[in-house]
Amino acid sequence: MIFVYGSLKRGLDLHHLLEGSRSAGPAVTCPHYRLFNLGDYPGIVEWPEGVEIEGELYEVTATTLATLDHAEGVDEGLYARRSICLVNHAPESAQAWFWLGSISGRPDCGTSW
């Protein structure tokens, strides 16, 4: 399962990359994260005084996952895909892309993008 919180969400710029993937509906993270505005897209980071971030869950194929990793800049070192804690879901049941760059001076988005 993939947790999406930004431009991959329904109705946003990159959602077409999830075409054919099964939506598992809305989801909310445990309060261990913050969401920052990086310009045209957001980035989630682990944070000691975090908030619950709203997003969507999808079941994806290995091919789609590779496409999404490319779109998120995993090979470029922009994001890393790893497990994320979700409210009302089994631990380690979902992954998300975490921002690896600086968030200095970036506005906090609150609970959603």
CA distances from 51 to 39, 46, 56 (A): 21, 10, 16
Q: Which of 46, 54, 72, 76 is catalytic?
A: 72
Provide the 3-class DSSP secondary structure of residue 62. helix
Which string of DSSP letters, residue by residue, matches 25-40?
EEEEB-SSEEEEE-SS
- 56 among known catalytic residues: no
- Catalytic residue numbers, as ranges: 72
